[in-house]
Chains A and B, each alone.
Chain A
């Protein structure tokens, strides 16, 4: 975070970027913590670029535990059936849903959609 100096204050865009970064990292931090605790994976090996299946070796059963923890933590319902169908039909890649930065973006979208409809 840049210091609270006059130069930063003159460029409010930096603040917006910073706030956006905070929100994103907060989702990632929560998800990474959930994965680390659920699957006994060292937290420091989990990065936004990690693929939950290919890199972290999480299987479908462990992913159910993760999905439950995410559903609960964010008050959403990860549409796992829809995603699986899309991947099976070749309409999406696993990277779109299971690389953690993408998973976090999906979570943020679902949270935003829920907030908007509330």
Chain B
């Protein structure tokens, strides 16, 4: 994770297109300016960033399912639960699955676990929109490489 760059997932561990599920891992950094303020003497991952990491995980599942033809944009977050603190240095496993694939939107359910124990979960709605410009695919490809997304299966 590079919190300041909003890089909130590190590596795709499993992308199952048949079951429409994805699992990624994300290492919370030991040090970040964010922890200086959140909170002094009691550093914990902000809940909004945990939601964002679940959204990014869900997003890559949707990108794969739609073969880069649509981009998922965060539209709604429901039933988001922060069940326990996430602290610097912890290794997160983030899973997401599809609840519903609509026309122009999709809903996912995502979970964050640490050592197998559930720390957060949310139901997330995305608007699915054609990529905003042709260069966007290049940017997405760069992110895809960084997180071990199986790009070879999705030629541009």
A-B contact count (CB 8 A): 35
Chain B 116-128 near chain A by CB (<8 Å), digits 1 or 0: 0000000001010
The residues of A that contact B132 with a CB separation of less than 8 Å are: none
CA gap between A78 and B102 in the complex, in Å: 7
Which residues of B have CB within 8 Å of A84? 104
Tally of chain B residues near chain A (CB < 8 A): 11
Cα-based distance from A81 to B106 in the complex (angstroms): 12
Q: Which of A87-115 contact B (CB under 8 A)?
A: none
- B105: interface (CB < 8 Å): yes
Place the interface of chain A in its size category: 10 to 19
Does A64 sit within 8 A of B, measured CB to CB? yes
Bound CA span A81–B128, Å: 9
Chain A residues with CB under 8 Å of chain B are 61, 64-65, 67-68, 71-72, 77-82, 84
Some 9 contacts from A to B, beta carbons below 8 A apart, are A64-B75, A64-B76, A64-B125, A64-B127, A72-B100, A77-B102, A78-B103, A81-B103, A81-B104
